[in-house]
Amino acid sequence: MNPEGNKGTNPKKTQKLRAKSSLHVWSGDYMGAFDTQTSRDLEFNAIRTLLLGYCHNPSAQERAQNLKPFRNRKRMVRALEETKEFLQIRRESIPFPAVGCDEIHREIERLSIRESVLSEPQFMRLRVASETINDVVAALQGRDSINPRLLYLLRNVKTTTELIDPIDKVFDAKGNVRSNASAKLVTIREDVIRVRRSINRQFIKSLKDCAERGWLADTKEGFINDRRVLSINSTHKRKVTGTVLGQSNNGSITFIEPAINISLNFEMEMLRDDERKEILRILRDLTQDIRKLLPLIKAYQILLVELDWIRAKVQLAQEMGGDLPGLRTESGFHLIQAYHPLLYLQNEKAGMNTEPQTIALHPKGRMLVISGPNAGGKSITLKTVGLLQAMLQSGLMVPAHPNSEMGFFDALLTDIGDNQSIENQLSTYSYRLNRMKGFLEVANGRALLLLDEFGTGSDPELGGALAEVFFEELYHRGCFGVITTHYANIKSRAAQLPEALNGSMRFDRESLEPLFKLDIGTPGSSFTFEVATINGIDNDLISRAKGKLDGRKVRLDELIGELQKEKNTLSKITDRNLRKELENDQLRFQLESNQAHLDERSVHQQTVGEEQNTALNRGRRLLQFVDRYQAESKNKELFEDVRKYLAMERSKLDNAAKATIDKRKASAARAPKKRPKHFVERIQIGSIVRLRNGGKERGEVIELNQKHALVLFGSFRTRVELEKLTWVAH
């Protein structure tokens, strides 16, 4: 299958298909309305390439090359949850085996052939695979509720040494066949050692003799065909008894096998042949034993490929800061602090900052028209939406805040950039008309449209009118979409339609620099003349251009620009005020805590003083009783006074306790009624809230725990205690 095209495409029809630009939606697992052009528009091939670099095995690499968005939601969710579970294991530094070992499909092919024999490296690959799977099973044991998806992958395997034990009986740790693999092999290798010693002993004797006679060359000895030979100066070669096996390049050295070793080397070759035959027999028997475990080995292969693929996706997620957002069952999305992954990686490498975007499409606001200056970030925002949606539906994590939410689309339709076709003699506008025709064939409420510079390429008035009609038609078909445009009539129509909305990219008119931040609710100025100024166009030419326009048009553009300027200023002031407000809250809380601590200490000290005075008075009174006590037992009056004193003190304690209870009751009766609820219990992720102490600025909750919420006020994020917030809406 073509990685990007449709199944069974006939190359002869390529030109015709490109000219028509028709799209269709498959009924299978993968999105059919995701053609080569869409992949090119969104730079999805770059994601495939990045992912390919992390894949270890050919099967996973093939998946990366053929990566395509799912149309089957269940398969998408399963792929995402598998990746998320593996990513969580990595983030929590939970011990987990490396799963990048070689796959074993060739071993499976060999085992499927009768009488075939596996080689030594193939046995070792099977052993490593079995050991790896055993380690994976052990690592995930007892994590049923934490890693259910990964555990499901292990359903056909178990911890077993059925494969490892027979291999370990034959092979040592270095992958060599053990001498004790059979009794015959033991005998053969003992004979090999004996003969080798004899060869070395006789050779050393011949070497010493030739050295004493001065016949040896500087190298003294060498190896030819695994035989040890003497390096003899060619002038003395006839003096040495033996077999000539070769000469040096210039003929000055002759390599001679000593005659005394010829029979021994022949015996060694016979023993080596016997050893090879015995090893082959051992491996054949071992292969027969292993062949019985073929179903288990096939399960290993499937699992190894899956784990390698998931691991590659996790490494890609870690590189670009990807995570799993909340998954909606319906179409739409709410991206919070989302990054274009390729731009993020590029800027990260260059040490530059990347501005995140927060953008949402939902049934009541499903078509967003973004306007603003060129080079202001419109196209990047649009591509961010499309690329993240394509990545998510391909089972990849996306670089956005995990509290984001993303839905599911049956079709992803793009028209981005200048796509002239010289081959088909199509202009940019003709190409876009053909592309739009294809969109209209599949557009519905489950389609996401991404249209850049919508309506351009023709006469502004005529092209704008046709673009407005297309916009209305797509809107009435229930599509979701992000559209960038400079056309005023498209902006105006978006403001009139209840489920469409305008957005604009901020621009600093003072510094004449784009801010790369998206504002929802108002259209933006194209800042045509400001951008011209940035690019060094002479002011006289700009003034002449303004003079040729309708004054109302110039004034409207200036008003929009002023509005954006004021909005930027207001946003900065709001952020600053929010920070001051939160700082004041913290100082007030600290002051109240300090005052409460001082009050508590004061009350405690006063209580301790009163208790000490009471104890002192009681001690004095007790001393008086002691002084009155007489040893002759004339103490009846004394004991009566003691009894009366104790009864009086007991009465005082009872009255004090009763007074404390009455005081608490009176205090509770006088206490003001509780302040009205601020509906803290209603606050959840996505809720709109404001600060309780009279704050008017509304923010969105993007993270929540039992005591605090992370709130996004415009572009300003802060963590606030729940008791300081008031719920406004969902």
What pLDDT score was predicted for residue 464? Answer: 76
Query: Do 274 and 376 reside in the same domain of the chain?
Result: no
Task: Write the burial class of residue 388 (CB in 10 Å: 0-12 exposed, 13-18 middle, 19+ buried).
Answer: buried
User: pLDDT exceeding 90 applies to what percent of the chain?
Assistant: 38
Q: Residue 366 corresponds to which tokens in the numbers above? A: 């499903």
Supply the Cα-derived Rg of the chain in whole angstroms: 43
CB 712 within 8 A of CB 336: yes
Mean pLDDT, residues 438-454: 88
Mean pLDDT rounded to a whole number for the chain: 81
How far apart, in whole angstroms, are the C-alpha atoms of residue 47 and residue 222?
55
Query: Do 528 and 649 reside in the same domain of the chain?
Result: no
CB 153 within 8 A of CB 300: no
Higher pLDDT, 568 or 309: 309
Query: Do 270 and 302 reside in the same domain of the chain?
Result: no
Q: Which of 533-547, 639-653, 686-700 has the highest mean pLDDT?
A: 639-653
Closest-CA residue to 194 (of 257, 271, 259, 277): 271
Residue 23 backbone phi and psi in degrees, to 5: -125, 155
Which of 232-236, 297-301, 407-411, 496-500 bottoms out in mean pLDDT, i.e. has the lowest?
A: 232-236
Please check the confidence at residue 9 and state whether its pLDDT lies above 60.
no
Burial 667-679 (b: 16+ CB within 10 A, else e): eeeeeeeeeeebe
Does some domain include residue 638?
A: yes
Please check the confidence at residue 166 and state whether its pLDDT lies above 90.
yes
Q: H or E segment at 336?
A: strand 333-338
Query: Do 620 and 718 reside in the same domain of the chain?
Result: no
Task: Write the burial class of residue 688 (CB in 10 Å: 0-12 exposed, 13-18 middle, 19+ buried).
Answer: middle
Which of 83-97, 107-121, 350-364, 649-663 bottoms out in mean pLDDT, i.e. has the lowest?
A: 649-663
Does some domain include residue 572?
A: no
Closest-CA residue to 300 (of 119, 104, 97): 104
What does each C-alpha distance from 30 to 3, 252, 399, 447, 604 come to in angstroms? Answer: 11, 72, 23, 14, 73
How far apart, in whole angstroms, are the C-alpha atoms of residue 335 and residue 356?
10
What pLDDT score was predicted for residue 377? Answer: 76
* Per-residue pLDDT band at 5 (split at 50, 70, 90): very low
pLDDT digits (tens, 9 = 90+) for 363-372: 989 999 988 7
pLDDT digits (tens, 9 = 90+) for 181-206: 999 999 999 999 999 999 899 888 98
* HEC-encoded secondary structure of 15-63: HHHHHHCCCCCCCCCECCECCHHHHHHCCHHHHHHHHHCCCCCHHHHHH
Query: Do 279 and 300 reside in the same domain of the chain?
Result: no
Query: Do 121 and 69 reside in the same domain of the chain?
Result: yes
Look at the chain and report how many structural domains it folds into.
5
Higher pLDDT, 562 or 244: 244
CB 431 within 8 A of CB 355: no
Q: In which domain, by residue range, is 709 found?
A: 677-729
- Establish how many alpha carbons lie within 13 A of residue 476's alpha carbon, considering only the half-sphere containing its beta carbon: 8
Please check the confidence at residue 143 and state whether its pLDDT lies above 50.
yes
Total residues found in the chain within this entry: 730
Please check the confidence at residue 133 and state whether its pLDDT lies above 80.
yes
Closest-CA residue to 686 (of 328, 290, 276, 271): 328
Q: Residue 368 corresponds to which tokens in the numbers above? A: 């967003």
Query: Do 509 and 399 reside in the same domain of the chain?
Result: yes
Strand-pair category, 367-371 with 513-520: unpaired
Does some domain include residue 713?
A: yes
Does some domain include residue 418?
A: yes
Does some domain include residue 299?
A: yes
Please check the confidence at residue 24 and state whether its pLDDT lies above 80.
no
Q: Which amino acid is at 304?
A: L
pLDDT digits (tens, 9 = 90+) for 37-55: 899 999 999 999 999 999 9
Please check the confidence at residue 543 and state whether its pLDDT lies above 80.
no
Q: What angle do CA 271, 276, 282 make, to 5 degrees?
A: 125
Q: In this structure, how many other beta carbons lie within 10 angstroms of the beta carbon of residue 131?
A: 15
Query: Do 271 and 350 reside in the same domain of the chain?
Result: no
Please check the confidence at residue 638 and state whether its pLDDT lies above 90.
no
Higher pLDDT, 94 or 609: 94
What pLDDT score was predicted for residue 720? Answer: 84
What pLDDT score was predicted for residue 243? Answer: 85
* HEC-encoded secondary structure of 490-533: HHHHHHHCCCEEEEEEEEECCCCEEEEEEEECCCCCCCHHHHHH
Query: Do 362 and 406 reside in the same domain of the chain?
Result: yes
Query: Do 532 and 466 reside in the same domain of the chain?
Result: yes
CB 730 within 8 A of CB 694: no
Which of 153-157, 206-210, 606-610 bottoms out in mean pLDDT, i.e. has the lowest?
A: 606-610
Query: Do 226 and 257 reside in the same domain of the chain?
Result: yes
Q: Which of 191-200, 480-489, 545-554, 677-686 has the highest mean pLDDT?
A: 191-200
DSSP state of 364: T
CATH code of the domain covering residue 478: 3.40.50.300
Does some domain include residue 672?
A: no
Question: Residues with Cβ < 8 Å from 326, sequence gap 6 or more?
Answer: 402, 403, 404, 405, 406
Beta bridge partner(s), residue 690: 698, 726
What pLDDT score was predicted for residue 510? Answer: 58
Does some domain include residue 48?
A: no
How far apart, in whole angstroms, are the C-alpha atoms of residue 543 and residue 562?
19
